[in-house]
Chain A
């Protein structure tokens, strides 16, 4: 089993776990963490792809590295935005649930998860 295969399988596992977490976890914060895991899987895949370019005599294919850096910046921005929204939601509603029909801006929701 070569390095790229191992890393490829790790990437696949991270993507799978991330997707699972995003779909099944009801709490927004966990969803955000799961999104980051999913994103890491994809970035690792980019790394694997870049490593495969090394067969042509390069140390590493630089294009996927450039793409990964951009991708990480985008994912970081997304996480920051999501956290900011979540914080504001918690401050305004007193709970951080995504459920429809949860009490709106009227006081604190004791049942919120």
Chain B
């Protein structure tokens, strides 16, 4: 359960040494890798992964059986003097999801990054960075004060950036540098806010700060700058200039980690900040603004994804859209007295994050297998791949179905919880965005599947082979995402009205059918796919309707190109900071 702003924890709770272990184990793995290094790196990483999963599971179970969050006081010094690690329901669930995704990617990467005598340093680098990201993300989930979170956030970035340019091509180096520089702007803005908060309140501890924080000018400036900084790191539209090239250019295993997990780190800190440190501060206008950016991300990300010609870029733009989804929960969590409340909406948002993490990692892994077999990943060239790599295409399909919000995927439960919250808070417009987002997601998933399942026109020249274990890892992770909806989440997250029941009732099924049909129509209208209807004479008469829609899609892509210029992104950053400050000022 989530306990916002509980009484100050003065002692270390039993079993809290697990929290330290979850950070120390990956770090120990890195040190071992440097000490023993070389040929044993893969074995070390596998052992660390087994241990890490065990620790994450132990934290998950211990947390569920304890009354409040697990707390570990470093050196037995209590805040404000000391630093606390805390694990509440949110952290436990996120850590478990992270452990599962990292392990699956580890199995996948085992075949790609096998250290050999003649090879470069690439395998060693990959495994070290993978463990580093894991340790840093666990610190993000456990950190109990804003400065620890800053350091953890930087560690995540430092480990993620070299992953982008693992192959050392100029194109990926450029993407990595863009990513690093823009992320640094974000983190300095976050640090600026931290400084201001310390100067005003004399503490950075999440719990202590939540008791003291009031709506004052300096607090609002701090909140606005921290929020904007975190959004830049999460790549929420329009601050996404670094995401598509970085996520599409990296090797498949790295893309899976970057898209699935790394963006969730800064998102998680955003949740901590808005839900726990300052639930009363943002108010109506700021939450609406945040969700409006999310809605724009869904629209732009999905439409541009539909217009991509390469599979990996399509998946990267889909990440952009799915990040938008994560921010829809903020206005829906606002209660009648203007406080952000942890309830069904937060549970929905978190579930969305987890199901995206698992599904997107699986989709990138499947795309990686396809790429290594075909030697390219153009959508046009995918025909016939369903015969060659049935497991990978199935993994992509399962991951896609999980993302669409169709039962029994985790995203279905997430969508239902958010829709429930939208009805309760009488914000019907977010319900419309949620449904439209589902339809657009369906559109690009169907677009890929239609290409992959089409019969090959001619014999396909195979460029390489995808080991069976790689395909199995992707499929297992996609299945994980698809079955997330069957987990009894009310035990782990605070959901007042219970889970949506009757997953396979007539109403639920017909809603899903509507999403699929809508998605197919959207794919034909906006994508490069003509479908079976294109040969009918009716299609030509429909051109009057289709052409304007297609032109609108083109225009959106053009706007996206402009927004991804550095200067446009910089200006958006400043404008957003001002807008958040102003809207919080209105609320107070």
> Can you name the residue of chain B whose Cβ is closest to the Cβ of A80?
B158
A6 within 8 A of B: no
Task: Report, nearest first, the 4 A-B pairs whose CB atoms are least far apart.
Answer: A23-B570, A93-B170, A49-B199, A89-B173
Docked pose: A39 CA to B165 CA in angstroms = 25
Docked pose: A20 CA to B162 CA in angstroms = 27
Instruction: Please tell me which one of the listed residues A26, A38, A49, A93 contacts residue B198 in the complex, with CB atoms under 8 A apart.
Output: A49
Instruction: Please state if A85 and B570 are interface contacts (CB–CB under 8 Å).
Output: no
> Can you name the residue of chain B whose Cβ is closest to the Cβ of A92?
B170
A105 within 8 A of B: yes
Residues of A within 8 Å of B162, CB to CB, are 81
Instruction: Please state if B154 and A105 are interface contacts (CB–CB under 8 Å).
Output: no
Q: A35-B185, A70-B151, A100-B564 are in contact. Are A89 and B198 (CB under 8 A)?
A: no
* Best-buried of B158, B177, B185 by chain A (most CB within 10 Å): B177
Residues of A within 8 Å of B567, CB to CB, are 23-24
Min CB gap A88→B, angstroms: 6
Q: A64-B198, A85-B165, A105-B171 are in contact. Are A77 and B158 (CB under 8 A)?
A: yes
Q: A26-B566, A28-B177, A78-B184 are in contact. Are A92 and B168 (CB under 8 A)?
A: yes
Q: A32-B181, A74-B151 are in contact. Are A85 and B188 (CB under 8 A)?
A: no
A17 within 8 A of B: no
Docked pose: A88 CA to B170 CA in angstroms = 8
Residues of A within 8 Å of B571, CB to CB, are 23
Instruction: Please state if A78 and B158 are interface contacts (CB–CB under 8 Å).
Output: yes
> Can you name the residue of chain B whose Cβ is closest to the Cβ of A106?
B170
Instruction: Please tell me which one of the listed residues B147, B158, B196 contacts residue A70 in the complex, with CB atoms under 8 A apart.
Output: B147
Min CB gap B45→A, angstroms: 22
Write 27 A-B pairs (CB below 8 A) sorted by A numbering. Answer: A22-B181, A22-B185, A23-B567, A23-B570, A28-B177, A32-B181, A39-B188, A42-B192, A42-B195, A45-B192, A45-B199, A46-B195, A49-B198, A52-B199, A63-B198, A67-B198, A70-B151, A77-B158, A78-B154, A81-B162, A85-B177, A88-B168, A93-B170, A93-B173, A98-B566, A102-B174, A105-B170
SS of B interface (majority):
helix
Instruction: Please state if A81 and B170 are interface contacts (CB–CB under 8 Å).
Output: no
Instruction: Please state if A104 and B570 are interface contacts (CB–CB under 8 Å).
Output: no
B574 within 8 A of A: yes
Instruction: Please tell me which one of the listed residues B170, B195, B202 contacts residue A45 in the complex, with CB atoms under 8 A apart.
Output: B195
Residues of A within 8 Å of B245, CB to CB, are 100
Docked pose: A24 CA to B162 CA in angstroms = 25
Chain B window 188-213, contacts with chain A (Cβ cutoff 8 Å), 1 for yes, 0 for no: 10011001101100100000000000
List residues of A (72-107) whose CB comes within 8 Å of B's CBs. 74, 77-78, 81-82, 85-86, 88-89, 92-93, 97-98, 100, 102, 104-105
A28-B177, A74-B150, A81-B161 known, 5 other contacts, Cβ within 8 Å: A22-B181, A31-B181, A35-B184, A88-B168, A89-B170
Residues of B within 8 Å of A32, CB to CB, are 181
Residues of A within 8 Å of B184, CB to CB, are 35, 78, 82
Residues of B within 8 Å of A89, CB to CB, are 170, 173-174, 177
Residues of B within 8 Å of A46, CB to CB, are 195, 198
Docked pose: A67 CA to B198 CA in angstroms = 10
Instruction: Please state if A98 and B170 are interface contacts (CB–CB under 8 Å).
Output: no
Instruction: Please state if B174 and A105 are interface contacts (CB–CB under 8 Å).
Output: no
Instruction: Please state if B147 and A104 are interface contacts (CB–CB under 8 Å).
Output: no
B508 within 8 A of A: no
Chain B window 360-376, contacts with chain A (Cβ cutoff 8 Å), 1 for yes, 0 for no: 00000000000000000
Min CB gap B417→A, angstroms: 37
> Can you name the residue of chain B whose Cβ is closest to the Cβ of A84?
B162
Residues of A within 8 Å of B378, CB to CB, are none
List residues of B (221-251) whose CB comes within 8 Å of A's CBs. 245
> Can you name the residue of chain B whose Cβ is closest to the Cβ of A93?
B170
> Can you name the residue of chain A whose Cβ is closest to the Cβ of B193?
A42
Instruction: Please state if A92 and B173 are interface contacts (CB–CB under 8 Å).
Output: yes
Residues of A within 8 Å of B535, CB to CB, are none
Docked pose: A102 CA to B174 CA in angstroms = 10
Residues of B within 8 Å of A71, CB to CB, are 150, 191
* Best-buried of B151, B171, B188, B566 by chain A (most CB within 10 Å): B188
B178 within 8 A of A: yes
Q: A71-B191, A85-B180 are in contact. Are A23 and B173 (CB under 8 A)?
A: no
Residues of A within 8 Å of B168, CB to CB, are 88, 92
> Can you name the residue of chain A whose Cβ is closest to the Cβ of B164?
A85
Min CB gap B78→A, angstroms: 14
B65 within 8 A of A: no
Instruction: Please state if B185 and A15 are interface contacts (CB–CB under 8 Å).
Output: no
Instruction: Please state if B174 and A35 are interface contacts (CB–CB under 8 Å).
Output: no
Instruction: Please state if B177 and A98 are interface contacts (CB–CB under 8 Å).
Output: yes
B90 within 8 A of A: no
B176 within 8 A of A: yes
Residues of A within 8 Å of B181, CB to CB, are 22, 28, 31-32, 35, 82, 98
B458 within 8 A of A: no
Q: A42-B195, A46-B195, A78-B184 are in contact. Are A104 and B177 (CB under 8 A)?
A: no
Docked pose: A53 CA to B200 CA in angstroms = 10
Instruction: Please state if A93 and B174 are interface contacts (CB–CB under 8 Å).
Output: yes
Q: A48-B199, A52-B199 are in contact. Are A98 and B188 (CB under 8 A)?
A: no
Residues of B within 8 Å of A86, CB to CB, are 177
Residues of B within 8 Å of A48, CB to CB, are 199
Min CB gap A56→B, angstroms: 10
Docked pose: A48 CA to B158 CA in angstroms = 28
> Can you name the residue of chain A whose Cβ is closest to the Cβ of B169?
A105
Docked pose: A82 CA to B161 CA in angstroms = 10
* Best-buried of B168, B180, B574 by chain A (most CB within 10 Å): B180
Instruction: Please state if A92 and B169 are interface contacts (CB–CB under 8 Å).
Output: yes
> Can you name the residue of chain A whose Cβ is closest to the Cβ of B569?
A23
Min CB gap A72→B, angstroms: 11
